[in-house]
Structures are given as structure tokens and as C-alpha cells.
Amino acid sequence: MEDMSIVAPHSTAVVTVGVGPLSLEGVMAVARHGAGVDIADEALSAVAASREVIERLADDPQPHYGISTGFGALATTHIPVGRRAQLQRSLVRSHAAGSGPEVEREVVRATMLLRLSTLATGRTGVRVETAQAYAALLTAGITPVVHEYGSLGCSGDLAPLAHCALAVTGEGQVRDADGVLREAADALAQAGITPVELADKEGLALINGTDGMLGQLLLALHDLDRLLVTADIAAAMSVEGQLGTDDVFADDLQALRPHPGQRLSAANLRAMMAGSPIRESHRTDDCTRVQDAYSLRCSPQVHGAARDTVEHARTVAGRELASAVDNPVVTPDGRVESNGNFHGAPVGYVLDFLAIVVADLASISERRTDRFLDVARSHGLPPFLADDPGVDSGHMIAQYTQAGIVSELKRLAAPASVDSIPSSAMQEDHVSMGWSAARKLRRALDGLTRVLAVEVLTAARALDLRAPLTPAPATTAVVSALRSAGIAGPGPDRHLSPEISTAVDLVASGAVRRAAEQATGPLT
């Protein structure tokens, strides 16, 4: 995955919130590429209008959750006017209870941006200066320290968002734009940002959202756009290298089962194998093989189902980007109403779906790789692609690495969203665990990247071993990209781990995809 470091890249770009739903590109610009943030004037007007509604409730004898009452199971406790600012401070301090390793900077920046996007809808009742403080922290590259554990994905991603809110008030720890760990008060002062003194409802509005899990969903969708195409590239290299046929990828055959993702995947496979001398060499009556193995022949069906699942997740993400998640909310007609929109089920489910997709993509990739290494199934290649089998082991243990990762991905595919644990004295008696689903998906995506890299690495070696026959122009371009990056062709055993690491970088950076597209044009 991209930019997992604690240091944000510099960017002079600015993303504006409050002019409609954020785009995936906008979220990536801020989260991964360090873009600054501003708030549209019309959004600031909406924020100010909703704040007036909250301030008119100061003396209202009717209780309003989180404004004149406590929180969760303490919602029946009345809070007098003079103690309501303390109520909000106490809420943020007590809920900033995360534990464990620091969450990646890109995740925290995405989380803050999405919370700001909801603030900018004018449905939360915060003050203008509070929303502006979030934009200022993002623009300055100041990132609150958020921890791995603390969210149940219901009532929002409470602990992660509370750590963000705590930093805005000048408390807790942050990373500055250079990645240096600092006290929030010092970092804000150096950046010229005035800490926020929370007013009525503001603490609640800053922590009651599904922004952490949604941010990670958006990052995952961006990564999967690259990895799905790379899976097709790897599959084409494997089909070609194992003397398989591309006839089964014909468009009229795919149209008999009209799943859109399957058709796109098959089109990529055809484009990758077009003009292959290796393929033409066995397009004769002498070829007695009737059908290829499932892992080769069914690649479009598996990759296509993955694509269609990703599109469903993208639909859910789009709806979430158009949402204002808070409780209570200020309605357009000036009511302040409790609701359940903070429940993370819609996001949690698709995060779990994607973990299943990732595990199966990796599983079929590992099966394709393994076929190269078995002399009984590789159609003339040396055992384990070794230079001197017996003395050399070739890529034997690279497949072990794949298998170990695939085994872990199967465990990570177990859904988090069915594992509700009641909290807050049974007031919050069903939770989504969406944050946990997001965290395991991030680990799974890293694993898929590594598995695909080993397949590309192995297939490239096999294609070289088919000499004097040459691969298709597109697969040749991918092999050349590996060789240009310092991964040598077939030969005696050498230290393999650095080559795997280089291949992982080429997959993660999109270099494998770009190399293929030099020959095919854009792959989808």
C-alpha cells in the first residue's frame, strides 16, 4: 500500500469541503499526498446557521441528548448550563482512550477530513471556528496520534475521533509535518493555530461519526483499483507461461454470463496475451490439452466477482460520502433530533466483504504460481524453475511465502461485523465493529500485494525459460520492468528476499500496471 509512513508528502494542492460530497480523488489528495483543506463559504454559512439553533437551546427545559444531558447510559443525567462546556471537554478527554500502535498518518488524515466534511454540512451544530480548526490542522500537516484499539464502530469511531478532537483543543500528542512526535499545544502554537475551547454539543459532534472506517474503506478502494488490474496482469503471465489458452477469455463466451466485472477481467487477459509467440507455438493440432486448470481458465470469473464486489463497496462509500453522520443532528427546519445514523453496519459489512475478496484473489494467485513449480504440471519447465534442480531450489520457498500469507488472509476474512459486544451499561447493546473490519482489511491488502508480486516474479522467470519463444508485447514489458529494477533473469540460486521486496514495490507503486499499459493501452 502507498505512503504508510508517518511523514506526509508535501503538496500545494487544496481540497475544498462543503461543495457536495467529497470525491475519492479528493480524499486521496489530502490523506496520501498532503493537500491542504479549505471550507466553502456556503458551508460556513450553513455551519453558522446550525450553531444558532444549538445556542437557542441553552435555556430549553426539554432535555437534549449530549447538550443538556450526559452520554450513553448517562443520558438521563441533567447537566446545568454552567457545566456544559466542561461536559464537552470531559467527553473528549475520557473517550480519547485508545491503546496500541499508532494508526497510519494517511488513515488519520482521511478520518479528520471526513469528519470535517460532515461538520461542513451544517447538520452538527458546531461553531465555524471549530470546523476551521480541523481544516487548519490538515493544511499544516499536523496529525493527531490515534491508536489501533478503541473503536467498536458504533456511536461512531469514538476513541479515534476523540484523539483527533483532543489535539484540536491543544491536548494530547501529534505528529508534525516532519513526522516528529510533539505535544499538541506546542505544534499548534508553532503553526499559529488557536486551540478550540469546546462549547455546547461540540465534543459530541467531533466524535460521533463513522469517519475512521469510511476513510479506510476509501483508501482500500483506491488500492484495489490498482491490485485488481495487477491480478489480471499476473494471471495473463501465468496462463501464457504455462502454455494455457486465451480462447476461453473470448468476449462472446463471457457474455453468456453477463457479470460486468468478469467481462472486464477477460478483456484485460486478452489484451495482455495478444500477439504472443508463446501462445501461437501451441495453437496447433499437436496440442492435446482439452482444458486448462481452474486457476487459469476461471481467472476472469474469480477476478470479475471480486470487481463486482468492489463496485458494491464503492456504491456504499458514495452514499456515506453524501451523508451527515452525527447524533443528535440539526435538521434543515431547525429541529435537534436523535437518530441511529452513527451505526457502522453499512460500512462494516462491505469492509468484511472486501476481506473475503482479497483472500480469494490471493488464493487463486498462489495456485497459479504453484503450477509453475511442479514439473508434473508446468509443461516442460524445470522443477521449481531451478537452474540446477537439486543443487538449486529456484522459487520453491517463494511459494511457501505466498502460502503463509494466503493462510493468514483466510483468517483475516472472518467477518468482524458479526462480533458485536455490548457496551455502555447495555445502552449501546449492538455495535458494528467496522473499525476492526477496516484494520484487518488494510493488513489483508498488504498481503495480497505480496502474493501478486511473487506470482509476477515467478511468471516472469518462467516466461524467460520459454526462450527462444518470446512472450506477448505486454507481458514482455512487465518482464522488462522487473529486469530494469534489478531483478535478474533465470540463473543459479541467489538471495531471493530482496527480489521479492523489489517486486512488491513494483506492484504497490503501480509500476507493473504502467509497464503493461505501455503495450496494451489503458487496462480497466
- Which of 9, 8, 26 is CA-nearest to residue 17? 26
Extract the C-alpha cell encoding 238. Answer: 501465468
Extract the C-alpha cell encoding 469. Answer: 519463444
CA distances from 91 to 10, 12, 84, 116 (A): 34, 35, 10, 19
Q: Coil, strand or helix: which one is 453?
A: helix
Residues in the chain: 524
Cα distance between residue 494 and residue 393, in whole Å: 10
Residues marked active site are found at 65
Amino acid at 435: W
Q: Coil, strand or helix: which one is 231?
A: helix
Residue matched to cell numbers 465493529: 433
- Which of 51, 53, 46 is CA-nearest to residue 334? 53
Q: What does 135-195 look like in DSSP terms, one character per residue?
A: HHHHHHT-EE--EEE---SSSSSHHHHHHHHHHHTT-SEEE-TT--EEEHHHHHHHHT-PP
Q: Tell me, what DSSP letter sits at residue 341?
A: T
Helical H runs in 13-126?
24-31, 41-56, 84-95, 105-119
Report strand pairing: 14-17 vs 36-39: parallel
- Which of 233, 270, 278 is CA-nearest to residue 254? 270
- Which of 211, 145, 219 is CA-nearest to residue 434? 211
Cα distance between residue 71 and residue 48, in whole Å: 25
Q: Tell me, what DSSP letter sits at residue 123?
A: -
CA quadruple 306, 311, 315, 320: dihedral, nearest 10: 60
